[in-house]
Amino acid sequence: MTEKKYFGTDGIRGEVGGKVMTAEFALRLGRAAGVVLGKLSPSNNILIGKDTRISGYMLESALEAGLASAGTNCQLLGPMPTPAVAWMTSSMHASAGIVISASHNPFYDNGIKFFDNNGEKLSDEMELAIEKELEREFITVSSELLGKASRIDDAAGRYIEFCKSTFPRQQSLAGLKIVVDCANGATYHIAPQVFSELGADVTVVANKPDGLNINQDCGSTEPQILQEKVLETGADLGIALDGDGDRVLMIDHYGKVIDGDQLIFIVAKHLHKNKKLNGGVVGTLMSNQAMQVGLESLGIEFKRADVGDRYVHQLLKKHDWHLGGESSGHILNLDLATTGDGIVSALMVLVVMKNEGKSLKDLAEELPLYPQVLINITIENAKSLARHPELVNHALEIDKKLANKGRTLIRASGTQPMLRVMVEAQDEKLAMNYAKELENTVKNL
């Protein structure tokens, strides 16, 4: 397959004012997307949502102009979570959806990602078609064929109702005290309403975006403020979303972080017990070995995809399974949504708590994670070194010693000149020793 020039694992991303995150590039990208994606449905209409970064205004306007020049209509949703754009693209029978967001990155980065008319991430072929169109001359259609732009004022309300619809109608969150961290991002005006309208007593933090504070010392990547607030308020749990609302981590009432692997296990075990788990579960190369062992002990098949929620989605579709995700908190349940959805994922866990009558702490303790040691080694030839026979054989020897009580993983970073060496073991000291051994092998090579 032809190598992509602009698209990474989740759309196009970079520093604002750099090579791609400019008004000029967004204008050309909008036209190219209009040409390629506009024809995916008779509506010839593309939705645009964004997170709360200050650069979103600039990129939104440029994309809108580019789409219009290709003769494609667009509807502006304003600040909306990534999964909301995916859902609305499908429910409104739009040709495609565009999200302006760099997810959990700081404000000075931004990104542009796409959904097809089914509300799913684009195929490699579709992304390559957009890149090919980007290389063509910028041509504007004749005036009578220009696209029009409009705004959907009730987008947030529609999505709030969708999120609530994924929670059992006969149940309520009454009696639960929850702290919600909106990461000063796209869920700031949505998540608090969802949980409070379902009956919870909600305290909110990081819900005052100013264009510059998205993900800053808050959200799923920096949950310290949330942990403190859960303890301070005596809450039952905390919910940490990221800047664009597609991932979630949770905090138990002792202030401990419950990661994506544990959340997926909690939901999978409950669905399996009630004969509602369709097939097995998909994780990634980074998923904790304890989750695989735990699921398989329950008779649940587990498969690993490459790192990235789009690869989890592809493997789920291939096997016609529904549940999967990443330890970072990207959780997919294709029964409920076409992409990772932080709010919906949190509601899945809350359903289990209600049905089992257990605290989040008790549920999470059913899967004690293996200690994981990760060493990042900055090096230029990371990709070739990751495949070096001496390093591969050393890792295999360690895997054999650990058996199913741990594992090794050596992979080159997709974004930096870096080799990542990871070892999991039931004993943290053992994991550290093996990781150091592999690090020394890398240095010797």
pLDDT tens-digit map of 114-135: 999 999 999 999 999 999 999 9
For 425-443, what is the mean pLDDT?
92
User: Residues 196-212: pLDDT tens digits?
Assistant: 999 999 999 999 999 99
Active site residue 103: yes
pTM of the model: 0.93
pLDDT of residue 319: 97
Return the CATH number of the domain spanning residue range 12-153: 3.40.120.10
pLDDT of residue 415: 61
pLDDT of residue 414: 65
268 contact partners, CB below 8 Å, separation of at least 6: 277, 281, 295, 298, 300, 323
Neighbours of 393 (CB within 10 A): 11
Fold (CATH) for 372-444: TATA-Binding Protein (3.30.310)
Rounded CA-CA distance 25/27 in Å is 5
Catalytic residue among 101, 103, 220, 345: 103
Rounded CA-CA distance 385/392 in Å is 9
Q: Locate the domains of the chain by residue range.
A: 12-153, 158-256, 258-341+350-364, 372-444
pLDDT of residue 132: 97
Q: Do domains 12-153 and 372-444 have the same CATH topology?
A: no
pLDDT of residue 418: 84
pLDDT tier at 183, thresholds 50, 70, 90: very high
171 contact partners, CB below 8 Å, separation of at least 6: 351, 354
pLDDT tier at 383, thresholds 50, 70, 90: confident
Please state, rounded to an integer, the average pLDDT across all residues of the chain.
Answer: 95
Q: Which helix (H) or strand (E) holds 99?
A: strand 96-100
**Is domain 258-341+350-364 annotated with CATH 3.40.120.10?**
yes
Given a cut of 80, whether residue 359 has pLDDT beyond it is yes
User: Residues 75-104: pLDDT tens digits?
Assistant: 999 999 999 999 999 999 999 999 999 999
pLDDT tier at 444, thresholds 50, 70, 90: confident
Return the CATH number of the domain spanning residue range 158-256: 3.40.120.10
pLDDT of residue 385: 87
39 DSSP 8-state letter: G
127 contact partners, CB below 8 Å, separation of at least 6: 4, 7, 114
User: Of 241, 239, 4, which Cα lies nearest the Cα of 101?
Assistant: 241
Cα angle value 147/95/25 (rounded, 5°): 60
- How is residue 172 written in tokens? 């309520």
Given a cut of 80, whether residue 55 has pLDDT beyond it is yes
Rounded CA-CA distance 49/82 in Å is 8
